[in-house]
Amino acid sequence: MILSELHLRNFRNYEDLTVHFAPGVNVLIGHNAQGKTNMLEAIYALSLTRSHRTNNNRELINWKHKSAAISGIVQKTSGRVPLELEFTSKGKRAKVNHLEQARLSTYVGQLNAILFAPEDLSLVKGAPALRRHFMDMEFSQMSSKYLYNAGQYRNLLRQRNKYLKQLKYGQQHDKVLLGVLSDQLAAYGAEVVIARYQFLKHLEKWASQLHKKISLNAEELKLYYATQLKLNEKTTVEQAYRELLGLYQSHIEWEIDKGTTMYGPQRDDIHFMVNGKNVQSFGSQGQQRTTALSVKLAEIDLMKEQTGEYPLLLLDDVLSELDTIRQTHLLTAFQDKVQTFLTTTSLNDVARQLIHQPKIFEIEHGTLSKGETQ
């Protein structure tokens, strides 16, 4: 898929901007705090209906105005798709082909994008919550079913945790309702866990190949889904549901005492193993970065495999964080494969040599120069 046109109205420091992109590599050059990352944020939001930098929609709206809008034209194998997204104080509105979507979940997946920023290099060594967020964001773009089940699970989890606290402090006494919430939570939790397990198996296939190439065949990467359930390739959703429900039922008093849900996908993690060793605990910084790079790049092929379309690749000032070898592998991995948006303060010699005819835009104070192909 290709984002051929983007229009921003009152989004961050862009008051009124229309830009046409190249199908290959689009380079956004400018000093810090000029609006480069804001541009990538807008593309990411057009894809997922949310920012990767804030949960407060008000921060996306130019301070002089009460609403902001992002619209774009996506070229897919099935044809041309106009997308529109509006942010107001009352919430968000999304349109596909000029038709408003009743639920945002029906909008997500129209435009798929992979964001790779410096903080993503902490995917391996960061907190488990970072890796759970990674799974939810990426897998939701590939499967509307996953997006729905994960959303339902989060809503029920909030309800169950609130009720557990009420039971703990004597504000409620009815454990029958807790049983109902546990049953519903286990049903959606099982769907999420099985989908994550299966997606990670597919992701491992692509990431392992890339990691081996970057390490010059010296390292083998494996991904393990660390969950409280006993899973294997034959585990069904029904089996996972019964096991998770059993954990809730057998630990009722403990969870009431804690005032929170102690089991389920909100406790899960990913373990990255290189040559049989956990790279998070025992790997060098170089191995951790190579692993993160391999996993992020593997998403490109995984999305193509799952959706039939290559996603957009958003690279937010990530070249400055990589050495020459990893820069080379990153830049050659997406050439002639995916439409790419790259922000940087300047293109170094490696990038200039490896990027084929980039369309370069200069950004200053929320304005873009006319893109030039070099």
The annotated binding site for ATP is made up of 30-37
DSSP 278-320: EHHHH--HHHHHHHHHHHHHHHHHHHHHHHSSPPEEEEES-GG
Give the C-alpha separation, 179 to 182, whole Å: 5
Residues 69 and 11: beta-carbon distance below 8 Å: yes
Residues 132 and 268: beta-carbon distance below 8 Å: yes
Q: What strands, in cross-sheet order, belong to the sheet with 221-226?
A: 221-226, 269-274, 277-278
Give the C-alpha separation, 328 to 364, whole Å: 28
AA letter at 189: G
CA quadruple 44, 49, 55, 60: dihedral sign: positive
Residues 121 and 317: beta-carbon distance below 8 Å: no
Residues 274 and 221: beta-carbon distance below 8 Å: yes
Residues 131 and 269: beta-carbon distance below 8 Å: yes
Give the residue ranges of the annotated binding site. Answer: 30-37
* Bridge partners (DSSP) listed for residue 225: 270
